[in-house]
A and B are shown apart, each in its own frame.
Chain A
Amino acid sequence: AQKVTQAQTEISVVEKEDVTLDCVYETRDTTYYLFWYKQPPSGELVFLIRRNSFDEQNEISGRYSWNFQKSTSSFNFTITASQVVDSAVYFCALSGLLGSNKLTFGTGTQLKVEL
Chain B
Amino acid sequence: DSGVTQTPKHLITATGQRVTLRCSPRSGDLSVYWYQQSLDQGLQFLIQYYNGEERAKGNILERFSAQQFPDLHSELNLSSLELGDSALYFCASSPLAGGHTNTGELFFGEGSRLTVL
Contact = CB atoms under 8 A, between A and B. Distances in A.
B28 interface: no
A43 interface: yes
A94 to B, nearest CB: 12
Interface of B: 2, 31, 33, 35, 42-45, 48, 50, 55-56, 58, 88, 90, 92, 97-100, 103-111, 113
B98 A45 contact: no
Interface stretch (A19-27, A59-67, A70-78, A97-105): A97-105
A47 B4 CA distance: 13
B98 A100 contact: yes
A102 B44 CA distance: 9
Interface in A25-45: 33, 35, 37, 42-45
A105 B56 contact: no
Contacts, number: 67
Please name the 8 residue pairs, one residue from A and one from B, whose CB atoms are nearest each other, closest first.
Answer: A50-B104, A99-B98, A101-B99, A45-B108, A105-B43, A47-B105, A44-B110, A102-B45
Contacts of B97: 99, 101
A102 B108 CA distance: 13
A43 B98 contact: no
B33 A101 contact: yes
A44 B42 contact: no
